[in-house]
Every structure is written in C-alpha cells, then in structure tokens.
Chain A
C-alpha cells in the first residue's frame, strides 16, 4: 500500500549541532570522504485506502503546521511512495 513520505531538514542557515557531531565522528570509523553532515527527519504517513489529492493536500498542511517548525526547519519533500515491505517486487518509486 502506498504511503506519504514527508522529509524535513534544518534550515540551511541554522547550524545543525547533531549533524556537526556526526560529521566529526565519521573519520573515527575511517569514513573520510565526507566534508559535512546535516541531519533531518523522515515521516511516513500511512493511509487506509487510496491517496487522493485531498489526502496529499492534508499531508502538505500537516507538514507545514505540525511536522516542521518554520522557524528552524524546511519541508523539503512531500511525496507518495510504495511501502517496500508490502510491494514485494521492490518497486522503487
């Protein structure tokens, strides 16, 4: 069954302390190819039934008003995605 995926990232001008900590820890494990890390959030909204335009619009509204705080975060994507656990065939959306 498809679901709606919402991705939220800290605003570019907001220093992301968690991302910075991850970036400084990576070289300790030998991962030296990365110059910076920013950490965001991914929400998966399941829907019983079809994902209509109205449901998608609701998801966009929820993303703007609750899932993100516009003072510190941007909603970077709201999209429909197949649930890989149920798709079986490994349908890449």
Chain B
C-alpha cells in the first residue's frame, strides 16, 4: 500500500484492508501526521460490520468511500491550534466539499476528539475547543446522553440514551458564542452531552454536535474505544465489558444501507 511506508505508525498499517471481504459500507479513516486513533477507528468500523478504508491526509481524492471518520490524536502536534494545520490538508478539502449540503446527500463525516477539532477548524461544525478549564489532561470513562438520534452517526441509539465511553484530552472545552449555542439548542443539534461531571468546562455540557443536515457529527469522547467487550469501560456486566460506542458505527452503516434505496448518494469520488 502506497501510504504504508509514509505512515509513521507503530505496527503494520495495512491490516485494515487484509480481512475477509465484509459486507456493508466502505468507511474511510483519515491518517494525518500525529494521528493516534486511526487503527482503533478502523477496528470499530470492522467490528460494526463495515469495511475500513485507510485514507492518507495528502491524498487528493477520496476514492470509493461511503463515509469518513476523522480520528483522534495530535495531528501536526497541535501546532498553532488543535486541528488548525490539518484543516488545510488536500484530503480535508475533498471531505469538506463532499460533506457540504450542496453536495446532495452529503457524505457522512464523524470527527472524534482531534477529528472534532479539525472539523470545527474546517468550518464543517460550529464552535471551537480551548484548553480544559482545569488545564489538566483528562483521561477516564465518561457518561454521555445521546440527545439527537436523527443523525447518520446516532440513529441506532434511543432518545436520551446514557452511554459510557472513554474521554482523553487536554483541549476539550467546547466554546461557541451565545447566538451559536442558542441555535444549536433550538435546532436540537447537541448530539452528545456530558452527564454527571462536566469534565472540561464545555459550554452547556456539550460533548458533541451535528451540522444542520445531520451528516457531520463531532464529539470529544471516544466511542471507538468502547466497541469490544474486554477492551471497553467497566459496566454492569463486567470489567471493561462496555461497548456503548458501537452504535455510532452501526448507525452510519445502517443509514448508508437505507440511503442506497433512495436517490443516488453521489459518493465522494473525485
């Protein structure tokens, strides 16, 4: 694979496409220099029944993918601002074009943690993230409420479902001006909200938001780290048994399967 030699990751990078052919959607997972969670995101896609397609930030074409995940990490070392440099990657321009409402069906795009920061810098989602109010790196399991189940990435949750997924960041405090916050609430675009403690000072306990069309969603916590029993957060059934993040990935696969019956989803092929 072309990008294997360029991708500064530990371990082999091409296992994502080596598995037996899976039914379901082809979901691109973008790797930037400094991306951390691309392998976990790809694994989540496979566990959910989809095919993970590795994408390299310098590629100029999206290729044959039905949806894209911009995973977490510290792309470009968080230089300037978290996500600020990644926004200008050639592939991000393609993603922005395909996700825009003008692109018809609108490519489903999920930004997790640093991916969420990149999507705000790219103006695909409103608001921005600044340093946690307590200034510490926070790592732990976090309870969220799913408040919008009509997006491409949340359709398989029930309304106001409480889920527990890991959270790990330093620049996780969601901020937006009062008018934007009001609009997000009025339009029901707060997709995920922190429950219990607000871990970083985010305005209105906002953990994740959606764009108006619902195809683009971003959140700071990590659903991709809670998809496989034995490796997730503790829950009532046992230690590390939590798989509350999995519906994020099954949601997009099922929404894509549903949309193929409708008008041609156009795809993001360039």
Contacts and interface: CB of A to CB of B under 8 A. Distances in A.
Interface residues of A, number: 12
A5 B6 CA distance: 35
A71 B176 contact: yes
A72 interface: yes
Could you say which interface size class chain B belongs to? 20 to 34
A29 interface: no
B29 to A, nearest CB: 25
A74 B60 CA distance: 32
Interface string B117-130: 00011000011101
A69 B128 contact: yes
Interface in A19-33: 21
B133 A72 contact: no
Contacts of A13: 177
Nearest to B87: A66
B173 interface: yes
B175 interface: yes
B130 A14 contact: yes
A43 B81 CA distance: 13
Residue from A10, A13, A14, A17 whose CB has the most chain B CB atoms within 10 Å: A17
A72 B132 contact: no
A15 interface: yes
A71 B177 contact: yes
25 contacts: A13-B177, A14-B130, A14-B175, A17-B131, A17-B132, A17-B133, A17-B134, A17-B135, A17-B201, A18-B131, A18-B135, A21-B135, A66-B80, A66-B84, A67-B80, A69-B81, A69-B84, A69-B128, A71-B120, A71-B128, A71-B175, A71-B176, A71-B177, A72-B130, A72-B175
Sorted nearest first, the 8 A-B pairs with minimum C-beta distance are A71-B128, A17-B131, A72-B128, A17-B135, A21-B135, A17-B133, A69-B128, A69-B81
